[in-house]
Amino acid sequence: MKFIRVNMSDKSIHVEDVPQEYAGLGGRGLTSILVNAEVPPQCDPLGPENKLIFAPGFLTGTPLVNTSRISVGAKSPLTGGIKESNAGGTIGASLGHLGITAVIVEGQASDGDLSLLHINGQGEATLIPAQGYKGMRTYALVEKLLATYGEKNSVMCIGPAGEYQFASASVQSSDVDGRPCRAAGRGGMGAVMGAKGLKALVVDQRGKNADVIANPQAFKEATKVVVEAVKADHMSAEVMPNLGTAALVAPVNAMGAFPSYNATKGQLDGWEKISGEAMAEIIKERGGKTTHRGCDKCMIHCSNEYVDEDGKFVTSSLEYETIWATGGMTGITDFDVIARLDYLCDDIGLDTMNTGVAVAVAMDAGYRAFGDAEAAIEMVEEIAKGTDFGRILGNGPAAVGEHFDHPRVPVVKRQSIAAYDPRGMLGNGITYATSPMGADHTAGNVVGAYLEHKLDPLSPEGQVDTSRFLQIAMAAFDCMGQCFMANVALLHPDGFGAFQKLIEAKTGTQFEDGYFPFGMGTRILKAEKEFNRKAGFTKQDDRLPKFFYEEPLSPHDKVFPISDAELDSVLEF
Amino acid sequence: MKVKVKLYGTLSSNVPEYKPSQGIEVEIPDDATVKDLLAYLEISETRGAAVIANGRVLNANDELQNGSSLDVFQSIHGG
């Protein structure tokens, strides 16, 4: 259990034991509480006072499966508030096996200076000059890094967008095949990494110094509950391995909540061509992989490998949110184009969601027509080139809206919404408005409750309580390093208890009943809200853009009806 | 009554030679509910079926209407 502090100003590296106040935390809890404690809230997110934190989940590196998530946290150059963005791949587990709780990147390299941080199998960290990798896109970069440092390494890195410090820049994470196709996409964490002068983090996968589990027997017993629940649920055991998250296209579109043509309609013409079912057919016909393991220690295999007509790799993994942002929002219904856009975003180091929506806003403003595939590809390539328009696009939908003086910009705190329209799924709108992260579906996604008929997506009744509960639960869950696909374990009657037992078994400490998720989740959300308040956010920032309240969405012809007072009550604790 | 049904997710494996573009037509008793339809299609509760008609998720006990078009999905908690 150690922190590695890397100062990019003087290139010093210090290792310290994890202070007591961070005991039992990992992932989002660790990054958010540390950012709130150590980063001046009013600082320039792209300046030396910001800190960029890489933290594997608290259970990452333990024998529990599906635990390979890593959180990347800092003050966001996109939202201006606190940010945690998490990714799969292999690097979380690599750090976990070395007993590294967090890598904290501080200070700032001098202009134009670029380094990479290498952590070897003994957990020793070294900063290495990386001038030779300047401007490189992520696929070529990772190939070169793995050739240099060996295939048994994990990489997190930035592409040109991160070096340009664009607000939509992602941090890309290598998967089990060594491809940088997993992303901590949201909130411009790649820009913070670029501002620090850090091109990549390279970590040896062969570490054998994982944290000691205080009570291995209790850990094993709680693990059994989680694994059985994941094995028994249709989502994790059946739908995800066959269709992946793309399976959401059809039901969300059928519910009239699939934001299309820059959120001017709730259903997409030609949606059948970009459904999960259609994707699986195309991949099968061409000899790609509909089932693929993207992350270390994964038993779900929700990933896929999309290939072209000749069976050649195009991208991995094509996901629901990307299909929506680059397809539904832009009116593009050609999977080959969507797959190409996904690859380009990964390669340039861009959040597919913020970028797809930025393209959609430009189309809505009349810059190009909806459905113009060639234009979409050209626009994304402009970001990599750093042209004047590319710079605007790379800073996301809000920047594009300002450029064209176009009012229909579906963002909260400047971050794009996700693939669930707030007018068709009210609870998701509440989460977008009130999450300290900005519009973020992973902060509290209500879609499952709608499909299970537990809640009417169009009726305000029960939405605030459901969003609040999910936001607390997800804040705690995001600490564990568990994949979202495994969150079905929480639906098991003993699910929450099992996670509490896992934390207790690892730490050897008893917590009060309900610590997971309530004690832990509210502690994290409070820290995040406190940071945002000090950074200058007010209640007015916890609102959806005006058009969601004014423009009815077809087919249900509804606007967003939740009052400001109700929104203010969501995280009032 | 007769209803038109389209199956999504992995549910199409319940119907041999299922064609996604066409779906299937099902003849069920006049007072059949959503639950009855799922039983007819041999879709067990564990598969998380969600039946949607006209943009609304139906309740298990909702009665079906002759000639209606129904889409059957599997519940998913997010992506």
The CATH number given to whatever domain includes residue B31 is 3.10.20.30
- Find the residue in B nearest to A242 (Cα): B10
Q: CB distance from B71 to chain A under 8 Å?
A: yes
- What distances in angstroms separate CA A26 from CA A201, A207, A335, A367, one per listed residue? 18, 18, 37, 44
Asked, for residue B32, whether it belongs to a domain, the answer is: yes
Residue A71, helix vs strand vs coil: strand
DSSP A295: S
**Digit-coded pLDDT (tens) for B31-65:** 999 999 999 999 999 999 999 999 999 999 999 99
d(CA A531, CA A35): 8
Residue B25 belongs to a domain: yes
Interchain proximity A451–B57, CB inside 8 Å? yes
- Round to whole Å and give the CA distance between A565 and A428: 17
Give B-chain residues touching A425 at CB under 8 angstroms.
Answer: none
Domain assignment of residue B55, yes or no:
yes
pLDDT at residue A12 in the model: 98
CB contact under 8 A, A277 and B50: no
Evaluate whether residue B45 is within a structural domain: yes
Whether A250 and chain B come into contact, CB under 8 Å, resolves to yes
* CB atoms A243 and B10 under 8 Å: yes
**What are the chain A neighbours of B74 within 8 Å (beta carbons)?**
234-235, 238-239, 247, 451
ipTM of the complex: 0.98
> Residue B9 and residue A256: Cβ atoms within 8 Å?
no
Helix residue ranges, H only, A300-425: 320-323, 335-348, 352-364, 373-385, 388-394, 397-404
Residue B59 touches chain A, beta carbons under 8 Å: yes
Chain A hits for B55, Cβ within 8 Å: 254-256, 555-556
Smallest CA–CA distance from A319 into chain B, residue: B79
Do A255 and B52 count as a contact with CB atoms less than 8 A apart? yes
Residues shown for chain A: 573
- Among the partner-chain residues B10, B58, B73, the one whose CB lies closest to the CB of A238 is B10
Which of B10, B21, B76 is the closest to A451 by Cβ?
A: B76
Span B12-21, average pLDDT? 93
CB A316 within 8 A of CB A279: no
Q: Could you tell me if residue B16 is inside a domain?
A: yes
Compare CB distances from A248 to B21, B52, B79 and report the shortest one's residue.
B79
Q: What is the pLDDT of residue B31?
A: 97
Structural domain that includes position B56:
2-73
Looking at every residue in chain A, the average pLDDT score rounds to 98
CA distance A313 to B39: 41
Contact B9 A255 (CB under 8 A): no
3 state SS of A14: strand
Q: Is residue B78 part of a domain?
A: no
Interface contact flag, B9 A239, Cβ < 8 Å:
yes
Exposure pattern of A303-337 as b/e (b: 16+ CB <10 Å)? bbbbbeeeeeebbbbbbbbbbbbbbbbbbbbebeb
Contact (CB, 8 A) for A181 and A470: no
CA neighbor of A531 nearest in space, from A35, A29, A30, A22: A35
Q: Nearest chain B Cα to A446, which residue? A: B77
Domain count along chain B: 1
pLDDT number for residue B79: 82
> Does B79 map to a domain?
no
Please identify every stretch of chain A with a pLDDT value under 70, giving residue numbers as ranges.
none
Which of A:331-390 have CB within 8 Å of B? none
Per the CB < 8 Å rule, is A445 touching B77?
Answer: yes
**Chain B residues touching residue A452 (CB < 8 angstroms):** 48, 50, 75
- Pairwise CB contact (< 8 Å): B47 & A234: yes
Are residues B77 and A239, on separate chains, in Cβ contact within 8 Å? no
In a domain, residue B54? The reply is yes
**Contact (CB, 8 A) for A130 and A114:** yes
Taking an 8 Å cut-off on Cβ atoms, the answer to whether A256 and B57 are in contact is no
